[in-house]
Structure 1
Amino acid sequence: MVVKIQKSNEETTYNFTRKAGRSIIEHRPVFSPDGESLVVIVEKIARVYNVQTGDCVRVLETETNIDELIGICFDKEGFNVYGCSRDGLLITWTWEKGAVLREFKLPNLRKRQVCTFDLIDSERCLITSVNVYGGPTQIFLGSFSLKTNLQSPMEFTSQQIPFFGIVRVSLGWCNGEHYAAIINGSKFVYIQHMAKPHIHAFHSNYNEFRVLDVSCHQHQSAVAIVDTLGRATIVRGDLFNYKAVAREVLHWHHLPAFAVKFSTQGSYLITGGMEKVLVKWTIGNLADKANQKEFIPRLPGLIKFVAVSNSHIAVTLSNNSIVIANAQMRVHCTILECGGLSAAARAGAALLYHRRTACLLMGGRPGHLQLYSTASDKVLCNLDITDTNSIPTESKHDLIPLETEVTCAATSGDGNWLVTSEYRNDGVTYPEEKLKFWVSQLSKGAVPFTLVTCVNLSHGGCNVVAISLNTLGTFCVTAGTDQKFRIWKQDKATRQKREWSCLTACYYSSGVAQFQSNSIFNDIKKFNISSFTSGPEVLPYMKEVGRRGDLILRLMNIHKEAAVGRPIVSANADPENEMGGVAISQDGSLIAAWFGCKLTLWDTHLCNLRTTLSHPALRPKGVHVQFGIADAAHYLVCTTENCLAVFSLLSLTVKWLVNIKPTCLVSDPFSNKMAVVTTQNDVFVFTPHSSTPILRQNGLVDPRSGVINICTFAKAVKKNDVLLYFMRNNSEIYCLEPERTTDDRLEVISSKNVPTSNFSALLAEQQLSEVRPLQAAELHELNNVALGNNAIKQFLSAAPHMVPPVNLISTAFLEHISGQETTEEPEETEAAMEVDPQSSDDEEEVVSNGADETKTQLWTANYDEVNEKKLRRILKLPVLHKDAAASIFGVKSN
């Protein structure tokens, strides 16, 4: 419950908060016992989502500050929820209310970090941990009691399991006893008895391929594993004896499979991997449907984890989303969070504020832009920019996916136009490069933009590095790695469809950089066709473990990849004239473009070079450039790797310069404010007029955990306030906003006033009603005299020019305000009244005089007198002769 508090006249303070971009795919999700909810670990908390709608219904939080949750489990009865943090804090929640019952630190961890957490039964849990502070990289297994933290844990030290960066654990039953199956990314599957530490075993995968995930059958003695070859193998029998088991191999996946899970009853097996296809295998006693497969194809990301219930399947994908499907393999819900950028998209991540929808446009899944609502904290839609199918690689040599990505985007100031560029270069075929123009269509459908113009090879196959649009969206400039910038303009010849066309291309050097930037433009393509008769090719990542830069670990953490998988750099590139940022002036007459360390100014209409601005501090090359807005339109602000400089367009000289290391520069399209962010995550909001910042925030976040690489202005509630959104690590969204004023800030009521029942929770602390009890003072009649006096005061207090003419005012009202009193005439009766003979005659005379008295008129218009006054005023003018004027108008002059 909240209440408003009064407004105070304090200075504006700013808050820096994290809005979105949290990872929801780091750990396997868990279904509730009833199957109606899905619990997802999100860093330090656990969110509970409704399976049918995909909405977050509540959050499970801890009372003690932790670094990260690593596991969530339900007890057998489903009354409590257990979780464990990476530093070994065990938390117990009630499932119905989400209240914390108990928190205690697990003993004897010896400075180890917890990797996995699983419940053995209602009294014990299994913890795996690794020593990250030095010493042997070995996986330690321990069983801890849930009832008390005084009991010493049971450690399983008889089996040595090395650590290679991957740990997966699954619990099952064998011969009526609990066991745990552990894999570490090698070719072995380790089996450990839960009650007897000395009983253990291990099984080796066929052909020594690395095992990537494991799942135990809940009713039979069986284990399912998936490997780097794409096979799913089911091991049945006495798992504690490697000679008493049988294997069944299911092979559909061509690339490595990362997830495997038995169904609740064990009649089906669900697998998934790099093909972005979920496969449901029919196994067990269903002889009529043996080896039958069902698919969910074209998922938007690599499959990382799979969770099952009696009626649903939850699939965790690498694009930071969770897809929920029913038992019939039909997707009906998606839990989506900001982030999930691919490796190629991170190189040119975009963050734009769309004013028409009040949402943020940012990169998302491959080939898409996300529309994120800052008000509802949800991703409204995914805008498909490339409109291409996601096809996995056919070669096993390089598994890092390389798809057509959105490398650059820009919107107009009014939000009507969106311009995007997409690029793909695999180093073998000719590069794919397109420039697309989108128009806003909020009133026509759910998709906010529609494609108007698509330009193939707009820069000859070279990647676009910068895009700039004017405020009205009628003029566009794009810069590419071909060391040219091109000017685009709308063609309004047709009313129904506004198309864009290129006016010209401008360059500073010889203009042949597109043939020198990369040898792929001139090389003859040669394809290596492998023989179909040869056996399967064995690559190092399939069998070898512990390699530096392990490809399997990179694929499992592809959502954290910080660079393009296959960067292609030519030795012939010329950094002296390398293109940087471009900008258009407010009036559209000038274009500013970086060519290496030279900042050039071009005429928009003539498309010729006007001047070149240079300074020793601008070396080695420029990065960003922005024109001033409003009263700062005669300034040009630019950044390099080591400084921020402001040029005056009137004198073509540097007005002021600051030695900082900026990462991004952005301007507000509707004010003269600009913002710059440094490598130390310092934010400065300034105007080009002065080097003294308007707003300064130092060290918003620790730069060791990530640097803010892009920001954008948003529309603030008040005109002079600043509202900035930042992107860190290419997925985390932060906001620098004014602290809510006391006029609209909501204050949480203390716990003393918390309602004691569900009904009282709907009632406010203070209640007002328009129905009041009957009071004696309200029974009296209205005082007409008081009301009349109030109306007269309002009438007399008005300005003279607002008062109506006197001849239009009621005579009775004029008599009332003049103070004249009138007597009421006596009512006429049918019969004459009898007169007392003893009465006095004076009373009759007084009554008759009062009734027969005539009313005096307050004011009468005398037009003759007014006309005479006007004529006398005219006579005083020296225009006519005095006697002539008197004879003409018939007035005697004095």
Structure 2
Amino acid sequence: MITGGKSYVSSPPAFSNDGKRLLVCTGNTISIFSTSTGLQIATLEGHTAAVTSVIVVPGSKILCYCWTASLDGTIRYWDFSVPELMKKVNVKLPVFSMVIPSLLSQPALSNEKPTDLFAYLSLENTKEQNSMPKPLRGQIRKCNLTASRLIGGLILKETPQPEFISVSSSGKFFGIRNKRKLHIWMVPAKDSGHLVAKKITLHHTKNLTVLAFHPTKRIVAAGDVTGRILVWRGFGYRLLSISDGLVSGRSVNKEEERPGVRGNDDAESCSTWHWHSVEVNVLSFSSDGAYLYSGGKEGVLVVWQLDTGKKKFLPRIGSPLLYYIDSPDPTLSSISCADNQIHILKMPSMEILKSISGIKLPNSLPGIYEGGGFAFDYSTGFIALRTENYSVQFYSLFDDCGIDEVQVCERSHQPADEITVLVTLVAISQDGSMMSTVEVKQPEEGIGGLVCLKFWVLGSENKKFSLSTVIYEPHRDAGISSVAFHPTRHVAVTSSYGGDFKIWACNDEIQQKGRMIQNSGWTCLAVGSYKKKPMTAATFSSDGSVLAVAAETVITLWDPKKNVLVAVIGETFSPIVTLSFAGKSEFLVSVSQGSKPQLSVWSMSKLSLCWSYKLHIEAVACTMDLLSFAVLALLPESATRVESSEPKFHERDGVILVFNVMDPVPVATWSVRKAKGGGLAFLRGNLSSLEQNISDGNAPQEFLAYINGNHEYVLFDPYGNEANDLSITRREGLVELEETGKFGYSSIYGELPELKLKRNQTLSIQSAPSERPWETIFSGSSHNLPPLTRLCSAFLESLMEKRTAVVE
């Protein structure tokens, strides 16, 4: 089974101490990327729920350790250069955020006796609190990582929801935002289990969204929901100890006015900056404290000069900003964006060096445009997805990485909530050489709406799509309900809610005087309609000889070459939204949605209904050769409200059903989560990508791909005994680290010669050793060496005298 599509921006990432690697929280794992190439090089696996925090232990650039926290209630300690799990701490409560201040305050090398290591956690109280009028589910608690236990009975703060914890780079302070308040704690100089951090509270008139601490001074900045940034200077001099070694501000004993400070807050002054039009999501001080970085929904990184308030910008990032992270290497930093991208920046010029692109996250569209969000390339295993920035992203499901992005409509990112342009449909030809998109410009006050149909062609050399033809208002002022390509020719069909369908052909399909036209533009060949009913879906048969078009509640069958109506079949109670031919087109699968949803299978030889189910179907996928198909069905709400003692449908809202077209009894079923807005497709096995991961070479001919409403996906063999038996993972195919720096084993014992293996060869010691096996027996990367039990036996055999047996 292959899984992927996780979010890279659910939590802040972390740089390694040498700045050459970036550790990213990716679902239940931590993905490690090279900052020089932007490619994934390793994965830390072990957590059973989403990872929420990753903290790299500062110090040596050679030894690489990190702490991670997860919603599974565990904290883990890793050596990520191997990678290997070193320690596990079970706190038994979901961890939403974690900071370890003493790692930042302690010097990297010290002769002092090591003390216990303490972490401050933001936990969710999972105990029943329904009886309380306002349940407090968030807790700030202290954990002794050395002793692997929470400090019993010590709760620093309770909040309505778990909050993100921010820590100063000196390790002296940490804090959270809580509605219109900032709670700031000062960590004891020599922390221990019985010591309680001192706390102060700063107030504001609006809800706060994010906070950041100055690296050397007692300055804290916070952003609010209106786009304002507040900067408190000299906080905590009255209530918190001043013996912290920080640069002192003004005298705390001097009685004077405190401009901008509300009430009796413990701060010397508070100033306000305002540039952002909406809430501030990103705040971070530069390592020297001279600048403050801010960002939000505008997709612009703002750099404020702390002393003067002057600012400069990194504009046109193209997506709302979520996190800004500094690197130990002063020439690098990273920005995490809401479109599931992480940009590596060159500082101080703020030039984007590399981008780590995950699968684009779903965007909200009006109900009439919810469908058509996916298009699959059967042969390559690519998926095309609509994005919020008016683009189509091509993503490899086998490799779990972005391939390309096509800008459908040239428009800058707009932070306004009102969406004026929508990419509503995407379709790809069966050979992957053609693409069609539909974009809709929303009318303003009922005026100015526009529908645009575009055809794209794949370049033979650069393998990128380029625009071929633009058709404005292809169906007058009516919207387009579906787009489908002919299986063997450069021909497409569009159906319209206005009551007609049109057949389009690329000019290279039209011959004039016995020669082909070189221009690849598209032209309308034919127009059809049926009783002026809205045409809601269309598809071609597998050989292209039949065109099926849904006229609301009936199915019309056409000869696409002659544009002649052949037959009319079916009568459903709700409009048909999906049509698919199964197998060699002997059967047709239709899906109706509305008040009376229905899944129906029709016989093309008898022109009659074979069988049907009253199911709400979200997606349909038909195999290319076999007489089978799969559907993604939404479960009724009553079916999902089951007790936890019945894990089959616990927290699952959909099922995948595989049918033989002639049998209404499903061949196989799987329950799934987040089925609303999901998709299905049968894909040909990408042997070039999977060859190195399948030892026996028996790869399935077709995979069934399921992508859920959050764009997380899984590929599995639907005909296997169990989907989980498919032993395919991406971890074996990760790229090698390209930096020349030494770390781990090689930094201590020196570089070992590379052991060159063929693609399908496994790393093992042969039973018949060579003449001088000791020269290569320990060759290879340290984390790939076989176990000692294997190495020793082969090594000892190589030292024994060999005798040749003579048979008389």
Structure-1-length-normalised TM-score: 0.66
CA distance in 2, matches of 1:733, 1:177: 39
1:502 aligns with 2:486: no
Q: Equivalent of 1:463, from 454, 479, 492?
A: 479
Counterparts in 2 of 1:355 and 1:247: CA distance versus 1, 3 Å: same
Counterparts in 2 of 1:424 and 1:731: CA distance versus 1, 3 Å: farther
Which one-letter code corresponds to 1:279 in the other structure?
Answer: V
Shift of 1:687: 5.6
Deviating more after overlay: 369-378 vs 753-762: 753-762
Q: Equivalent of 1:86, from 50, 71, 76?
A: 71
Write out per-residue CA displacement over residues 296-317 of structure 1, whole angstroms, 9 at most, x where no aligned residue: 2111321111111222221111
1:412 aligns with 2:429: yes
| C-alpha contact 1:295 1:329 (8 A) present in aligned 2 | no
Q: Equivalent of 2:590, from 638, 641, 652?
A: 638
SS in 1 for 2:365: helix
CA distance in 2, matches of 1:329, 1:362: 29
Counterparts in 2 of 1:461 and 1:118: CA distance versus 1, 3 Å: farther
Which one-letter code corresponds to 2:159 in the other structure?
Answer: P
Write out per-residue CA displacement over residues 368-411 of structure 1, whole angstroms, 9 at most, x where no aligned residue: 22222344332111122223322332xxxxx3x52533221222
Q: Equivalent of 2:96, from 115, 129, 135?
A: 115
Counterparts in 2 of 1:736 and 1:121: CA distance versus 1, 3 Å: same
Shift of 1:76: 4.0
* Structure 2 gap segments, 5+ residues each: 104-116, 130-134, 189-194, 239-264, 636-653, 688-697, 729-758, 770-775, 796-801
CA distance in 2, matches of 1:776, 1:75: 59
Which one-letter code corresponds to 2:356 in the other structure?
Answer: I
| C-alpha contact 2:505 2:523 (8 A) present in aligned 1 | yes
| C-alpha contact 1:221 1:238 (8 A) present in aligned 2 | yes
Aligned to 2:123: 129
Counterparts in 2 of 1:645 and 1:748: CA distance versus 1, 3 Å: farther
Counterparts in 2 of 1:190 and 1:667: CA distance versus 1, 3 Å: same
Write out per-residue CA displacement over residues 854-874 of structure 1, whole angstroms, 9 at most, x where no aligned residue: xxxxxxxxxxxxxxxxxxxxx
Counterparts in 2 of 1:374 and 1:68: CA distance versus 1, 3 Å: closer
SS in 2 for 1:28: coil
Shift of 1:357: 4.7
1:335 aligns with 2:335: no
1:171 aligns with 2:167: yes
CA distance in 1, matches of 2:101, 2:523: 67
CA distance in 1, matches of 2:90, 2:6: 26
Structure-2-length-normalised TM-score: 0.73
Aligned to 1:234: 231
CA distance in 1, matches of 2:581, 2:151: 68
CA distance in 1, matches of 2:440, 2:502: 17
| C-alpha contact 1:280 1:295 (8 A) present in aligned 2 | yes
CA distance in 2, matches of 1:25, 1:350: 22
1:477 aligns with 2:493: yes
Counterparts in 2 of 1:432 and 1:133: CA distance versus 1, 3 Å: farther
Aligned to 1:453: 469
1:425 aligns with 2:442: yes
Aligned to 1:321: 341
Write out per-residue CA displacement over residues 108-140 of structure 1, whole angstroms, 9 at most, x where no aligned residue: x7xx53321001204211112233544222542
SS in 1 for 2:414: coil
| C-alpha contact 2:500 2:534 (8 A) present in aligned 1 | no
Shift of 1:733: 1.9
Shift of 1:458: 2.0
| C-alpha contact 2:375 2:384 (8 A) present in aligned 1 | yes
Aligned to 2:20: 36
SS in 2 for 1:57: strand
Q: Equivalent of 1:697, from 649, 652, 668?
A: 668
Which one-letter code corresponds to 2:365 in the other structure?
Answer: A
1:265 aligns with 2:288: yes
| C-alpha contact 2:678 2:711 (8 A) present in aligned 1 | no
| C-alpha contact 2:494 2:503 (8 A) present in aligned 1 | yes
CA distance in 2, matches of 1:21, 1:719: 22
Shift of 1:433: 2.0
CA distance in 1, matches of 2:22, 2:433: 39
Report matched runs for 1:189-268 at 5 Å: 189-195=182-188, 197=196, 199-205=198-204, 208-239=205-236, 241=238, 242-268=265-291
| C-alpha contact 2:140 2:158 (8 A) present in aligned 1 | no
Counterparts in 2 of 1:251 and 1:426: CA distance versus 1, 3 Å: farther
| C-alpha contact 1:44 1:66 (8 A) present in aligned 2 | yes
CA distance in 1, matches of 2:52, 2:70: 6
| C-alpha contact 2:537 2:550 (8 A) present in aligned 1 | yes
1:391 aligns with 2:414: yes
Q: Which has the larger radius of gyration?
A: 1
1:435 aligns with 2:453: yes
CA distance in 1, matches of 2:299, 2:163: 22
Shift of 1:435: 0.8
Write out per-residue CA displacement over residues 582-636 of structure 1, whole angstroms, 9 at most, x where no aligned residue: 1123454543222332222234355454443234xx3223232223554xx3433
Shift of 1:498: 2.1
Aligned to 1:373: 396
Aligned to 1:593: 549
Q: Equivalent of 1:181, from 150, 175, 180?
A: 175
Write out per-residue CA displacement over residues 777-823 of structure 1, whole angstroms, 9 at most, x where no aligned residue: 9xxxxxxxxxxxxxxxxxxxxxxxxxxxxxxxxxxxxxxxxxxxxxx
Q: CA RMSD in A?
A: 3.7
CA distance in 1, matches of 2:609, 2:292: 68
Q: Equivalent of 2:56, from 59, 67, 74?
A: 74
1:723 aligns with 2:678: no
Aligned residues: 654
CA distance in 2, matches of 1:68, 1:386: 35
Write out per-residue CA displacement over residues 419-454 of structure 1, whole angstroms, 9 at most, x where no aligned residue: 1112242653522321111122132x252x221111
Which one-letter code corresponds to 1:595 in the other structure?
Answer: A
1:584 aligns with 2:554: no
SS in 2 for 1:121: helix
SS in 2 for 1:698: strand
1:57 aligns with 2:73: no
Shift of 1:198: 7.5
CA distance in 2, matches of 1:210, 1:661: 41
Write out per-residue CA displacement over residues 553-591 of structure 1, whole angstroms, 9 at most, x where no aligned residue: xxxxxxxxxxxxxxxxxxxxxxxx554321123454543
Report matched runs for 1:514-525 at 5 Å: none
Q: Equivalent of 1:100, from 71, 85, 96?
A: 85
Which one-letter code corresponds to 1:126 in the other structure?
Answer: Y
| C-alpha contact 2:331 2:346 (8 A) present in aligned 1 | yes
Identical-pair percentage = 19
Report matched runs for 1:621-632 at 5 Å: 621-628=575-582, 630=584
Shift of 1:182: 1.3
Which one-letter code corresponds to 2:520 in the other structure?
Answer: R
Aligned to 1:27: 11
| C-alpha contact 1:414 1:473 (8 A) present in aligned 2 | no
Report matched runs for 1:799-838 at 5 Å: none
Counterparts in 2 of 1:686 and 1:69: CA distance versus 1, 3 Å: closer
Counterparts in 2 of 1:606 and 1:749: CA distance versus 1, 3 Å: same
CA distance in 1, matches of 2:118, 2:629: 58
| C-alpha contact 1:216 1:224 (8 A) present in aligned 2 | yes
CA distance in 1, matches of 2:499, 2:153: 66
Aligned to 1:541: none
Counterparts in 2 of 1:348 and 1:755: CA distance versus 1, 3 Å: farther
Report matched runs for 1:773-852 at 5 Å: none
Write out per-residue CA displacement over residues 526-546 of structure 1, whole angstroms, 9 at most, x where no aligned residue: xxxxxxxxxxxxxxxxxxxxx
Counterparts in 2 of 1:198 and 1:629: CA distance versus 1, 3 Å: closer
Q: Which has the higher helix share?
A: 1
* Structure 1 gap segments, 5+ residues each: 1-16, 285-289, 394-398, 511-576, 768-772, 778-894
Aligned to 2:746: none
Aligned to 1:869: none
CA distance in 1, matches of 2:469, 2:387: 22
Write out per-residue CA displacement over residues 442-485 of structure 1, whole angstroms, 9 at most, x where no aligned residue: 32x252x2211111122334432211111123322112333432
